[in-house]
Structure 1
Amino acid sequence: MARIDINCDMGESFGNYTMGRDGEVMPYITSANIAGGFHAGDPHVMRETVELAAEHDVGVGVHPGLPDMMGFGRRTMDATPEEVRDYVVYQLGALDAFAARHGTSVQHVKPHGAMYSMLSQSEDHARAVMEGILEVDPDLIYLATDMHIYEVAQEFDDLRAVFEGYVDILYREDRSLIVEKQMEPKPPEEVVERFVSIATEGTVETATGETIEVPAESICVHGDGPNAVEYLEAIHEAVDEYGIELVGLDDLV
């Protein structure tokens, strides 16, 4: 039986601004990547999102970003490996405190936006972040957004890493993602088809129709997408139909 985790970026509201549909999405996922307050989120949203995850028995992870709330953490920033490591450790510590308050703990780390791109392009930055994670808690799981980062993670014997795939955005032939400035609605049946293909065969069809390998054990669904809940409802129906087991990251590594 295929086993897979479903993760979603959450807790990205702040102040008077609401992002995503956390309350509607949380019942359908197994792992929540919660913003750490740098690119989005604030102390109150962090607390509320951790509490929501704990209520639904969803694994709590930190979604650290660069200190760029105005640009939602998607703008390039000149930062050394040591500085980026400190950004991650800082946000990890904040979220872990809220997790402890609600009787849970942080299980994984998934960098956001321009920080993820920086780690993908610079092995020095990626290693610095991974070393920082291990120093805080060697049991943490690194959720790797692309193969470059995943391969760096394999250098660390004591770092648990899971490779993730995407079903609500399209792939290029080189396994890079075609990121839309604003996500357009897609037919749920196409999203489900990609989910089942990755979960059962480790492959997915690209935007040009070529089949590529995506050996993912966790699937990300964007909670701020226009059809997020509809996608997740359809995915849960397919899980039963195809005999796929939904499990948390801890059960995969």
Structure 2
Amino acid sequence: MQKHEIDLNSDMGESFGPWQIGDGADQHIMPLISSANIATGFHAGDPATMASSVGLAKASGVAVGAHPGYRDLVGFGRRTIQASVQELVQDTVYQIGALQAFLQLEGMSMQHVKPHGALYMAMASDEALSLAFLQAVQRLSPQLAVYCMAGSATHLAANQLGVRAIREFFADRDYAASGSIVFTRKMGRLSPEAVADKVLLACRDGLVDTVDGQRIPIEFDSVCIHSDTPGALELTRATRSRLQEAGITIRAPHRHHAA
């Protein structure tokens, strides 16, 4: 069944001081998306970058979510950190609070939380961690949604607690026949047309082609294009154009009509 509205999200503010991640194209990508996941300082980002990212989102009319990760600036949050559930939850609360302060300065509210990188993947397979994390998120702001993979432990925990789960479709990642993501350490440059075609197929028919040549059903509420993927700006432009040409509105989840 074709979607008439879809959220387009991207990870923003993933630079640190003078160092820029990816193409450094945040200011050009931001107006093209509907939801921004802003790095909160542990895997990337710093106070100045958070402040500028929030300001850019406000100017572009983009909804904002916190993008907390492991305390791993050197590894960009892609390395698993061995820590207790309590410590990891406290680390995420600290990061969410930092971004909430910058949003408050701009008179904005936070739409969602999306864990980053290795933390996202750890939570996807760890129900205890997901439950503890989402219980803390609920106490911080009951209205916050969580971005996650459909069928993941995070998704199941959100359903159990009554937290709104925004299921993601990854435009710039390959899918296996199992429906899981095929992660690679080094992303090559992707064809903007191929990515736009992939997203349109998913939005129009609820299908995705896998790396082994199968076509499987996929369920999702938001399309993610990572800003650190080479050529992310071109991928986002092509995808947005293809969706709009197909009559699909790009809109943040909190602005969708209630079901």
Aligned length: 252
Measure how far apart 1:52 and its partner are. Answer: 0.5
Q: Deviations over 1:52-93 (max 9, x none)?
A: 001101001000001111111111111222212111111111
Kindly indicate whether residue 50 of structure 2 is the aligned counterpart of residue 25 of structure 1.
no
Q: Paired residue for 1:173?
A: 177
Kindly indicate whether residue 195 of structure 2 is the aligned counterpart of residue 199 of structure 1.
no
1:117 aligned to which of 121, 126, 137: 121
Q: Deviations over 1:169-222 (max 9, x none)?
A: 111111221222221112222101111122122221111121122211100001
Measure how far apart 1:142 and its partner are. Answer: 0.5
Structure 1 stretch 202-211 or stretch 29-38: which is displaced more? 202-211
Q: Paired residue for 1:90?
A: 94
2:150 touches 2:220 (CA, 8 Å); kept in 1? no
Distance 1:127 1:138 in 2: 14
SS at match of 1:190: helix
Q: Paired residue for 1:154?
A: 159
AA of the residue aligned to 1:17: W
Q: Which runs of 5+ in 2 are unaligned?
A: none
Q: How does 1:48-59 map to 2 (within 5 A)?
A: 48-59=52-63
1:36 aligned to which of 36, 40, 45: 40
Distance 2:173 2:129 in 1: 26
2:168 aligned to which of 164, 168, 175: 164
Q: How does 1:177-192 map to 2 (within 5 A)?
A: 177-192=181-196
Q: How does 1:222-237 map to 2 (within 5 A)?
A: 222-237=226-241
2:124 touches 2:148 (CA, 8 Å); kept in 1? no
SS at match of 1:18: coil
AA of the residue aligned to 1:195: V
Q: Paired residue for 2:142?
A: 138
SS at match of 2:198: helix
1:67 aligned to which of 68, 71, 81: 71
Measure how far apart 1:146 and its partner are. Answer: 4.5
2:65 touches 2:112 (CA, 8 Å); kept in 1? yes
Q: Paired residue for 1:5?
A: 7
Measure how far apart 1:251 and its partner are. Answer: 2.9
Distance 2:84 2:164 in 1: 24
Structure 1 stretch 61-70 or stretch 137-146: which is displaced more? 137-146
Q: Which runs of 5+ in 1 are unaligned?
A: none
Distance 2:204 2:160 in 1: 27
Distance 2:244 2:79 in 1: 40
Distance 1:69 1:235 in 2: 30
SS at match of 1:233: helix
2:89 touches 2:132 (CA, 8 Å); kept in 1? yes
Distance 2:16 2:36 in 1: 17
1:80 touches 1:125 (CA, 8 Å); kept in 2? no
Q: Paired residue for 1:251?
A: 255
AA of the residue aligned to 1:18: Q
AA of the residue aligned to 1:247: R
- Return the TM-score normalized by structure 1: 0.95
Distance 1:98 1:240 in 2: 32
Distance 1:214 1:53 in 2: 29
Distance 2:241 2:63 in 1: 22
Distance 1:237 1:146 in 2: 26
Distance 1:172 1:44 in 2: 39
Identity %: 38
The alignment yields a C-alpha RMSD, in angstroms, of 1.3
- Return the TM-score normalized by structure 2: 0.93
